[in-house]
Chains A and B, each alone.
Chain A
Amino acid sequence: MKRLTTILVVLVLAALVSMPVMASVPGELLIWSDGERAPILTAVAKEFVVEYGITVKIQELPFGDIRDNLAIVAPTGEGPDIIVGAHDWLGQLVTDGLIEPIDVADPSLFLESGLDAFTWGGQYYGIPYAIEAIGLIYNKDLAGEDGFQTFEELIDVGMKLRDEGKYALVMPQPDPYHTFPFFSILGGYVFGMNADGVLDPLDVGLANAGAVEGFELFEYLMDERILARATPYDTMMSLFQNGNAAGMITGPWAFNDVRSAGINYGFQQIPSYKGQFGRPFLGAQGFMMSAFSENKMLANLFLNEFVATKDTMLAIYEGDPRPTAFLPAADIINEDPDMRGVMESAAEGIPMPAIPAMNAVWTAWSDALELVINEQSEPQPAIENAVQLIIQTIKDSGY
């Protein structure tokens, strides 16, 4: 009998102890943030407690895990109220029903393209804090003080550099994101716009005349050993860090590695070809709100009043320097030449399509690049086959 009592007591205790672990808590905000943003948000959370007496908890997760974990955890009611994320998650998160629109109090505070990137069906789904676009990081000792204004110029320099065993250009391969400027330079696009200004998933423009010509330029550069062939990101970076490459197509995340190698570098937008500029994808990062939040109004309030402020945005910038999407902070941040360069490149950018159909594009496109990089196919048939596949996959998925 005594034993039974012990068991019962333990059972009750266990039930009591384990309850609070799972309760979702209205009246308290939970934010999933990556490591770079977490300390800044923690400081902002302290101000929020002082002002309103409402606790904001920050849970740190690797940036790339946030989206997938949200899909697993949010429907069970244990998820966060707010997440940090990239705009290209939008399509998947909205189609999955995992995030909800945010009431942006003053849209004029944000760079239009940054807010556009977080817009879906005419509604804002995020408060952007940073935008980014790739460009050309160039080695001033090899490419000259002003870099390469045109691909024609880059080819001339490349012909000389290859005799020294050096490349005029390196980039991560195969990588559709970094190769997109070659497709866009003479008029290629991923999805066309229909009359309503909405992306049409069945109008894929990666194999139109301009795209094929740009892709052929890409192949020509590799054939002439002006562009290094089949270099993964790390190989590309070490070529550039060792002074074996004059230019590198990449984004602001590479600045630290380049600086630490002691390279005398500059950042410019992608050079022009036949008088037209290669337009990169524009990306944006921001804060989004879970559809399963128990505190939607509070989350909106926190984002609008405590995150969309000059102080917070500058702190986010200092923690991890990227061009800001918040205009009141832009003047200060643009004093940095690197950031100004990225902003200029982003000004030419095309928002990377966030519709779920984009999933069908990446794999087929990357395979087409790989076939050309591996010299197993000519650009035109490779990309035409890829586009056919993309459209078929999109139709099969029932878009």
Chain B
Amino acid sequence: MGKMMKGITLGLLNVVFIWIALFLLNAEAYLVFVLLLLGALLTNFIFITPKGYPYRYLLPASFFMILLVVYPIIYTVYISVTNYGTGNILNKEQVIAQFEERYTLEPSAEQYAFQVYRDPQASLWFLFTDAQGAQLLGRDGEITRLEAGDPILMQLAAFHELSRVELVQATNELSAQSFAYDDTRELRMRNINSFSVYLQQYSYNVESDQLIDLQTGTVYTPINGYFQAPDGTRLSPGFRAVIGFDNFRRLFGNPQITGPFVSVFVWTIQWALLSVATTFVVGLFLAILLNDPHLRLRKMYRSLLILPYAIPAFISALIWRGLFNTELGVINQILQATIGSSVPWLQDPFWAKVALIILNLWLGFPYMMIICLGALQSIGAEMYEAALVDGATSWQQFRHITLPLLMVSVGPLLVSSFSFNFNNFSVIYLLTRGRPPIVGAQTPAGHTDILISYTYRLAFESGRGIDYGLASAVTLVIFLITGAITFINFRFTGALEDVSKNV
């Protein structure tokens, strides 16, 4: 029974593997495909041989880690040295195929009406008629002129002539046909009613890897993702190509990109620190209040205070966006009525940052309150009794007992909260979209952009349209920065463990 279950499970797993593998093959993602294949083979090996038993639990974990963590990182590194973005979406083979399929219509192109006949062997015969009524026979890519009453016409009449419906159903077959009109021109299907004379525009030379314009003789060589003529003219579309470190050079070599990057980086750190600090202080304060057994209706307060956490951040952020509106927002109307002036929330760089901190405080304090409440409960009452006996003030109690013991359990959560806010894209994007803009920045960058929202705007809203290459380069830089911060964080949390040992 158990064996059968195992067999079925493995079978189902393999179904999933094959299903994904086929998709990957179709999408030409060969690297992932190979990785998946290796994973699938290993899985089967481990399930089938008893030797593999110990790896049964290790394998899925490492497999998914490679697929979902390692591969994306490698892919990002790869994209960062390419020009992938608007104008360079397709691969080179696809672009060459498009150029080779490019036909231009003769300016004075005559249209030929056509009839198609199918002989008993199911092969096709074409009869073309020009505007003057002269007829041509099309067969096997060749055309021959027919005199009036040519015997071949009799022969055709014996074949099955395709009706209009049959022609429509056969369009793909018909449009694949071409007939040599003369040395350079071809007769090709123009629409369901006619054929016309076309010139092929480009031909690709495999040996020299060049594209030749058949009409002008211009030779185009692939340079940095474009076929380029000697005079610098580029053909569109371009293709995806490795362009080396150009994206990094753009990032670091241009003060109009570097300037915003530094200011965005500084704000990101400020934002993450301030978010953690404000939410922690308010959360802790409320937790201490709620922890007081003398407080009446504690449970009700607690439930009410958790509400901002329960409401989806997307809704709250949009509501706050309305509250902060300069002209009509409630906050400004109250300020106008009480102190007689209003604040340009969301428009002034400083106030936009204040608004963000306020919003994140609203969204984040319940979380801090909950974890602080839990942590406070774990601190034994005997500590405070001892402190009372020693004559400690309540500030001293807080400073020397509550805070250090609290930090033992809450400290690591503060660190993770820092990392979370470091990449808190949604709050930024929903409230300010990174605005107001930084004057003179050449990439889309705003005063409230954090690194992650800056990258997003770079990838999807840059001057070029979509710019995955540059965005990947920025992502890598961010990856290094967050890596460094995480490393420092780990040392910091290690220090906290020492505190707990000493207590």
Given contacts A3-B3, A385-B440, contact A11 B14 (CB under 8 A): yes
What residues of A have a CB within 8 angstroms of the CB of B462 in the complex? Answer: 359, 363
Complex Cα distance, B165 from A52, in Å, reads 5
Given contacts A11-B14, A231-B327, A392-B442, contact A18 B19 (CB under 8 A): yes
Q: Which of B171-230 contact A (CB under 8 A)?
A: 171-172, 174-175, 189-192
Residue of A nearest to B352 (CB): A374
What residues of B have a CB within 8 angstroms of the CB of A97 in the complex? Answer: 89-90, 94-95, 98, 236-237
Q: Is A204 an interface residue (CB 8 A)?
A: no
**Interface 1/0s, chain A 386-399, versus B by CB < 8 A?**
00011011101110
Cβ 8 A contact of B439, one of A297, A298, A356, A371:
A371
Cβ–Cβ contact B86 & A356, under 8 A? yes
What residues of A have a CB within 8 angstroms of the CB of B325 in the complex? Answer: 230, 232, 235
Complex Cα distance, B326 from A52, in Å, reads 60
**Interface 1/0s, chain A 294-312, versus B by CB < 8 A?**
1111101100100000000
Q: Is A19 an interface residue (CB 8 A)?
A: yes
Cβ–Cβ contact A15 & B168, under 8 A? no
- Of B5-13, B299-307, B357-365, the one contacting chain A is B5-13
What residues of A have a CB within 8 angstroms of the CB of B90 in the complex? Answer: 75, 96-97
Q: Which of A212-242 contact B (CB under 8 A)?
A: 228-232, 235, 238-239
Cβ–Cβ contact A94 & B236, under 8 A? yes
What residues of A have a CB within 8 angstroms of the CB of B412 in the complex? Answer: none
Q: Is A51 an interface residue (CB 8 A)?
A: yes
Cβ–Cβ contact B15 & A14, under 8 A? yes
**Chain A-chain B contacts (Cβ-Cβ < 8 Å), number:** 169
Q: Which of B4, B440, B464 has the most CB of A within 10 A?
A: B464
Q: Which of B294-329 contact A (CB under 8 A)?
A: 325-328
Residue of A nearest to B444 (CB): A363
Residue of B nearest to A367 (CB): B437
Residue of A nearest to B196 (CB): A103
Cβ–Cβ contact B465 & A295, under 8 A? no
The contact size tier of chain B is 35 or more
Cβ–Cβ contact A389 & B442, under 8 A? yes
Complex Cα distance, B439 from A119, in Å, reads 36
Give the distance to chain A from B394, nearest Cβ to Cβ, in Å.
47
What residues of B have a CB within 8 angstroms of the CB of A398 in the complex? Answer: 234
Cβ–Cβ contact B175 & A296, under 8 A? yes
Cβ 8 A contact of B347, one of A6, A301, A364, A374:
A374
**Interface 1/0s, chain B 1-42, versus A by CB < 8 A?**
001100110111011001100110011100000000000000
Q: Which of A72-125 contact B (CB under 8 A)?
A: 75-78, 92, 94-98, 103, 105
Complex Cα distance, B8 from A65, in Å, reads 40
What residues of B have a CB within 8 angstroms of the CB of A304 in the complex? Answer: 191
Complex Cα distance, B465 from A76, in Å, reads 21
Q: Is A193 an interface residue (CB 8 A)?
A: no
Q: Is B461 an interface residue (CB 8 A)?
A: yes
Cβ–Cβ contact A14 & B7, under 8 A? no
Given contacts A14-B19, A76-B27, contact A26 B435 (CB under 8 A): no
Complex Cα distance, B445 from A3, in Å, reads 60
Cβ–Cβ contact B165 & A53, under 8 A? yes
Q: Which of A1-47 contact B (CB under 8 A)?
A: 3, 6-7, 10-11, 13-15, 18-19, 22, 26-27
Complex Cα distance, B348 from A96, in Å, reads 38
Complex Cα distance, B444 from A358, in Å, reads 14
What residues of B have a CB within 8 angstroms of the CB of A75 in the complex? Answer: 89-91, 94
**Interface 1/0s, chain A 160-171, versus B by CB < 8 A?**
000000000000
Complex Cα distance, B167 from A54, in Å, reads 12
Per DSSP, chain B at the interface is mixed
Residue of B nearest to A294 (CB): B172
Q: Is B463 an interface residue (CB 8 A)?
A: yes
Cβ–Cβ contact A92 & B347, under 8 A? no
Complex Cα distance, B19 from A247, in Å, reads 57
Given contacts A96-B237, A398-B234, contact A301 B442 (CB under 8 A): no
Q: Is A377 an interface residue (CB 8 A)?
A: yes
What residues of A have a CB within 8 angstroms of the CB of B91 in the complex? Answer: 75
Q: Is B404 an interface residue (CB 8 A)?
A: no
Cβ–Cβ contact A54 & B86, under 8 A? no
Give the distance to chain A from B28, nearest Cβ to Cβ, in Å.
7
**Interface 1/0s, chain A 317-336, versus B by CB < 8 A?**
00000000000000000000
Q: Is B411 an interface residue (CB 8 A)?
A: no
Give the distance to chain A from B418, nearest Cβ to Cβ, in Å.
31
Complex Cα distance, B7 from A286, in Å, reads 53
Cβ–Cβ contact A6 & B11, under 8 A? yes
What residues of A have a CB within 8 angstroms of the CB of B444 in the complex? Answer: 363
Give the distance to chain B from A157, nearest Cβ to Cβ, in Å.
20
Cβ 8 A contact of B98, one of A3, A53, A291:
A291
Q: Is A360 an interface residue (CB 8 A)?
A: yes
Cβ–Cβ contact B437 & A15, under 8 A? no
Given contacts A96-B86, A301-B171, A370-B435, contact A105 B327 (CB under 8 A): no
Q: Is B259 an interface residue (CB 8 A)?
A: no
What residues of A have a CB within 8 angstroms of the CB of B344 in the complex? Answer: 374
Q: Which of B460-484 contact A (CB under 8 A)?
A: 461-466
Q: Is B341 an interface residue (CB 8 A)?
A: no
Residue of B nearest to A75 (CB): B90
What residues of B have a CB within 8 angstroms of the CB of A300 in the complex? Answer: 191
Given contacts A18-B19, A398-B234, contact A98 B89 (CB under 8 A): yes
Complex Cα distance, B91 from A94, in Å, reads 15
What residues of A have a CB within 8 angstroms of the CB of B95 in the complex? Answer: 97
Given contacts A228-B327, A371-B439, contact A10 B464 (CB under 8 A): no
Give the distance to chain B from A46, nearest Cβ to Cβ, in Å.
16
Give the distance to chain A from B392, nearest Cβ to Cβ, in Å.
52
Per DSSP, chain A at the interface is helix
Cβ–Cβ contact A359 & B28, under 8 A? no
Complex Cα distance, B358 from A24, in Å, reads 52
Give the distance to chain A from B426, nearest Cβ to Cβ, in Å.
18
What residues of B have a CB within 8 angstroms of the CB of A364 in the complex? Answer: 463
Q: Is B144 an interface residue (CB 8 A)?
A: no
Cβ–Cβ contact B191 & A18, under 8 A? no
Cβ–Cβ contact B442 & A92, under 8 A? no
**Interface 1/0s, chain B 471-503, versus A by CB < 8 A?**
000000000000000000000000000000000
What residues of B have a CB within 8 angstroms of the CB of A366 in the complex? Answer: 437
Complex Cα distance, B238 from A370, in Å, reads 34
Cβ–Cβ contact B89 & A7, under 8 A? no
What residues of A have a CB within 8 angstroms of the CB of B442 in the complex? Answer: 389, 392-393, 396
Cβ–Cβ contact B461 & A363, under 8 A? yes
What residues of A have a CB within 8 angstroms of the CB of B439 in the complex? Answer: 367, 371, 376-377, 385
Given contacts A7-B10, A105-B191, contact A359 B22 (CB under 8 A): no
Give the distance to chain A from B246, nearest Cβ to Cβ, in Å.
11
Given contacts A18-B19, A296-B175, A356-B464, contact A371 B14 (CB under 8 A): no
What residues of A have a CB within 8 angstroms of the CB of B190 in the complex? Answer: 103
What residues of A have a CB within 8 angstroms of the CB of B175 in the complex? Answer: 296-297
Give the distance to chain A from B322, nearest Cβ to Cβ, in Å.
8
Given contacts A75-B94, A300-B191, A385-B439, contact A92 B465 (CB under 8 A): yes
Cβ–Cβ contact A95 & B87, under 8 A? yes
What residues of A have a CB within 8 angstroms of the CB of B346 in the complex? Answer: 230
List 11 A-B residue pairs with CB atoms under 8 Å apart, sorted by A's residue number: A27-B169, A54-B169, A103-B190, A232-B325, A298-B172, A359-B465, A363-B444, A374-B347, A374-B436, A376-B439, A392-B256
Shortest 4 CB-CB contacts between residues of A and residues of B: A97-B237, A360-B463, A393-B463, A367-B437
B residues at A contact (CB < 8 Å): 3-4, 7-8, 10-12, 14-15, 18-19, 22-23, 26-28, 86-87, 89-91, 94-95, 98, 165, 168-169, 171-172, 174-175, 189-192, 234, 236-238, 250, 256, 325-328, 344, 346-348, 435-437, 439-440, 442, 444, 461-466
20 further interface pairs, Cβ-Cβ under 8 Å (given A6-B7, A76-B27, A397-B464): A10-B14, A11-B14, A11-B15, A11-B18, A13-B15, A14-B14, A52-B169, A53-B165, A92-B465, A97-B98, A98-B89, A105-B191, A231-B327, A291-B98, A297-B174, A359-B463, A363-B463, A366-B437, A394-B463, A396-B463
